[in-house]
Structures are given as structure tokens and as C-alpha cells.
Amino acid sequence: MGNAVIASGSLVLMLLLIWGGLHVAVVLGLVSFIGVWLIRDDVSVAANLLAAAANDAINSHIFGVVPLFVLTGFLVAKADVGKDAFEVANQMFRRLRGGLGIATVAANAVFAAITGISIASAAVFTRVAVPQMLRFGYRGGFATGVVAGSSVLGMLIPPSLLMILYGFLANQSVGDMFTAGIVPGLMLAIAFALGIVLMAYLRPGMVFANGIPVEVDAQDMMGAGTMALKLLPSIVMIVAVLGGLYAGFFTATEAGAVGAGLALVIALLKRKLDGPGFWSVLTETGHVTVAVSFLIICATIYTRMLAMSGMPQFLVETMAQAGLGRTAFLLLYVAIVIALGTIIDSSSIMLIVLPLMLPIAEQFGMNLVWFGVVTVIAVEIGLLTPPFGLSVFVIKSTLSEPGISLGDIFKGTAPFTLIMLSVLGLLLVFPQISLVLLR
């Protein structure tokens, strides 16, 4: 049995086991162990490789960035920073047609610049933004679609957990990945806002339940001082964490520590955190960190198994013989990632495809930082697409409105999926969009 056949068989087995419900990390470790065993015909080599991967994968202090930014995200959510950002954005845009949708996008962009976790954004703004939009006559599907669409900003605008994961897998600087995500993230947020305005004016039936918005009354209007106070925690967090990181005052890991410390102070000052609540945050952070650690460890042995099998080189040679160039490879890669996004989650997609595709991208001389931004956007499209659509399921489980079905939410996300595809297309044609701040 040839090594390429073994590697191909491991991929098929991996997808079957994941679809069967087995945890992704367990599947990665299991098929990699079996693959190395078959390639070397020695179980002790496979066991030693697994042990080495467990030691090498997360033994750097750089890995500390994961639990620190996860802790920051949970503390910020606990402190209602997302709710405050939405209330201010609502105040600023509520008199525009479709203004509450724009407010949701703006608040999600601010929240993303602090937390970097899409699922947290989806859960927070389902509770905060959807009831407000329903109150002012927006369609339930559109309201939830806006939340689902804008929640993906959490994985593009830095800090981003997926950017961190890509940095580990591709051996790229986390700071460079964060920087490369800024312009595409802001571009996507602006594209969402423009799309909402166009739909509200040109196709109001898609946005409003009766084709027209409910009139906004002037009560409960906030003054400039109140708005400034509500935004102050967000501004302090963004300036301190991202400003300090990009100014070179501290590393990505240190930026995570600063963010976690500030988030803790803000939660305490706002009296949103007590002893049991803090313990719950620490426990959730531990669960996420352990899950990510296990994934990275198992992805490491998977990468080594593929390298040992020669599968990446085999794919490069096959593509060369088939006459596929750089553009064809990119289109094929994006199509595979988006297709996988319909059935499995974001992290799993990256762990499965990147060890195979990164060597090919390097062979074509692609900038791996730009390739990472392309990957994250393509992966995030999967959060909105049926049948899996993780963000959609999170919103449905968080939603208190039984009249909004899962199908309604998926329909509501469709315009935002198309907008993401458009931005992804621009990024493929003009790579400098993501690299301009790195020059």
C-alpha cells in the first residue's frame, strides 16, 4: 500500500468519523496514529511521534495568547460591553432606514475588536439587538440574519481566535495576522452596512414586517455624556490592547494579559462580576483552552503524518500535471473550504485542510499571511450556510422568539453570505487589501 493511498484513506476515514459524531481532535489523533503506524510499519514510531507532538505543539509561551484572549472575551461579555456598544450605535443610527441593522453591525465590530469570538457575539446580540429590531417592525428573519452575519466579524477583526489558530498551524506571526485582518474586517463591516441600507430602501419587504419601519419616538434618548461613558470601556480596551500591540509596546501574549486585566477591572467597576460569576468565567475559559490545546496537539501529529506520507508533494505534482495554476488552486481551495463549512465547524476545517494546502500555497509563492485572511473569511462563510451553520444554531438556541424558525434565520443570512463572497472575491483579486498595513 502506497503512502499517498494511506494518507488519502486517512482523510476519507476522518470525514466519516466526524460526520458520525466523533470529536474532531480524537479523530485527528486516531487517524494520524494509524497512518504513521501503517507508513512505518512500527507502532512504537507512531506512539513516539504522538508523544513528541503533544510536547512540541504547545510548549511555547506564545500559546498563552489563547487562554488570555478567551478570558478577555468572556469577561467583556459578562460586563455587558456589547450591550453598551449597541445602545450607543442604536442612538446614532436609529433614525436611518435600516438603522438598527447598521447599529448591530457597528456594535458587533466594536465587540469583535475586544473579544475575537464569533459565537460570543452571536449569543450576546441575539439577546440585545433582536428584541429591539422586532419592536421597531423588522422581520424576524432579517433581524437574526443581521446578527448572524455581523457576528463573523469576531473572527476577522483582531483579536481573533481563528487568526491565532492559523498562526500556530502556518507558523506565522500572530501580530501580523491581527494586522492583516483590520482592513478586510472594516471593509466587510462597511459592506454589511451598505447592504442593509440598500435593502431597506430598494427592497423594504425583506427588512420590515409591513414593508415600512415603525416610527421611532424621542423618549429614552441619551445625551452625549451618557454615550461617551457607555463607550469608554470599549475605547480603553481597544486603545490599550490593540494600540499597545501595534505600537510595539508588548507582544501578542502580553496584549492578551493586558486585555484580560482591563476586562476584569471593567467588570468589577460595573459590578457585573461576583465570586460565582468569576469562577464560571474561569471554568469556561479552561474548557475552551483545553479544547483548543487538544486540537492543536492532534493537528500537529496529523501534519507530521501527512509530511511523512508525501501527500502534499503528491498533490503539488498532480496539480502541475493537470495544468492547474495559482488561480485554479485558489478557487478550488475556497470551494472546498466553503463546502466543508456546510457540515463541520470552523476550527475543524482549518485543522483538516491547512496541513495539506499550506505546502501547495508555498509552492505557488503565495503570501501566507494573506492566505490566512482568505482562509478565515472562507471558513466564516460556513458559519452562515446550511445545514450546519454554527452561528445560526447558536442564535436559534439563544432566541426567545419561538415564531422565528431555523429556516427564517438561514434566509435572513443569505444576503450577508453573498456580501461575504463579494468581499472574499475582492481579496482574492487584490491581495494588498490585507497586506497594506504590513508594509
172-210 per-position pLDDT tens digit: 888 888 889 989 999 999 999 999 999 988 888 888 877
pTM, two decimal places: 0.79
CA-based nearest residue to 355, from 405, 401, 402, 303: 303
Residue 360 and residue 378: Cα distance in Å, rounded?
18
Across 255-273, average pLDDT: 86
Query: For the chain, what's the residue count?
Result: 439
DSSP string, 42-69: -HHHHHHHHHHHHHHTT-SGGGGHHHHH
Give the number of other CB atoms < 10 A from CB of residue 418. 12
The dihedral through the CA atoms of 302, 303, 304, 309 has a sign that is positive
pLDDT by residue (tens digit) across 150-180? 888 878 888 788 888 888 888 888 888 888 9
From residue 341, alpha-carbon distances to 170, 194, 377, 422 in Å are 20, 26, 11, 17
Helix (H, G, I), strand (E, B) or coil at 209: coil
pLDDT tens by residue, 330-386: 988 898 888 777 766 677 788 778 888 888 888 888 999 999 999 999 988 877 877
Domain ranges, residue 192:
3-438
Tell me, what's the pLDDT at 3? 74
In tens, the pLDDT along 51-108 reads 777 666 666 666 677 788 778 878 877 887 777 877 788 778 777 788 888 888 888 8
Q: How many domains does the chain have?
A: 1
Q: What is the pLDDT of residue 163?
A: 87
Which of 60-64, 253-257, 308-312, 334-338 is the least confident region?
60-64
- What is the rounded distance in angstroms from the CA atom of residue 435 to the CA atom of residue 413? 28
